[in-house]
Each structure stands twice: as structure tokens, then as C-alpha cells.
Amino acid sequence: NAGVTQTPKFRILKIGQSMTLQCAQDMNHNYMYWYRQDPGMGLKLIYYSVGAGITDKGEVPNGYNVSRSTTEDFPLRLELAAPSQTSVYFCASSYGLAADTQYFGPGTRLTVL
């Protein structure tokens, strides 16, 4: 049982490049989330999904896209990377209820130069 896994751990992008951050969970959780954490700040929700085929915007969705074709995977796509997207990205999952614990992945540190 690996929990929530994220790849890559680190990445440097040039302005205008695109990339996909991968996230997978093996706990059969319905809900999955993408957060970003800027230096010295708390996490902010980018997108979330309540099940395969269903996604919705969070607090800071601009510049990102997501898809959820399976229960296990929830990739985050960055199009036309900008320096403002330099951050640490966390994927999380939960069974579904509001009180449920969110299980977090180890994070991806992304730098856009």
C-alpha cells in the first residue's frame, strides 16, 4: 500500500514550456485534490475531483488543467509555464466525507525560470 505517490519530485521548466505532474493513489479513494504551496504560505486548492470523470475548480485554477479518467490517477497539466507557477505541488486523496482525513503525497518542487 503506497498511499499517494507523485512524480517527479523535482522539475525545472523554462517559461512557456508545458508539463504534467502525475499523481496516483491506491486506497480506492473517491476524492482527489491538487494544492500548491508557495514559500512561507499554506496550501491553496487548485483543482479537485469527486470521482472518475468529474473535476472542479478550486481557489487558484488559472494556468492549470486536470483530468480524471480512472479512480487511481489524477494528473495536473501546466500549460505555458510562468514564473508565478514556481511552487511545491501536493496531491491528496480522501474517501469522500468532509471530515475524512486527506492523505498527501510527498510533493513536487517545480521551478519555472
> Quick count: other Cβ atoms within 10 Å of Cβ 78?
20
Q: Which residue in the set 5, 17, 44, 75 belongs to the binding site for other proteins (CB under 8 A)?
A: 44
Cβ(19)–Cβ(78) under 8 Å?
yes
Distance CA 96, CA 52 (A): 13
Q: Is residue 34 involved in binding other proteins (CB under 8 A)?
A: no
Least Å distance, CB 110 to other proteins, is 13
Q: Which stretch binds other proteins (CB under 8 A): 21-29, 37-45, 60-68, 79-87?
A: 37-45
Cβ closest to other proteins, residue 2 vs residue 98: 98
Rg value, the chain, Cα: 13
Distance CA 77, CA 55 (A): 13
Residues from 56 through 85 that contact other proteins (CB under 8 A): 56, 58-59
Grid cell 480522501 is found at 94
C-alpha cell of residue 4: 499517494
Q: Which residues bind other proteins (CB under 8 A)?
A: 31, 33, 40-45, 48, 50, 56, 58-59, 88, 90, 92, 96-99, 101-102, 104, 106-107
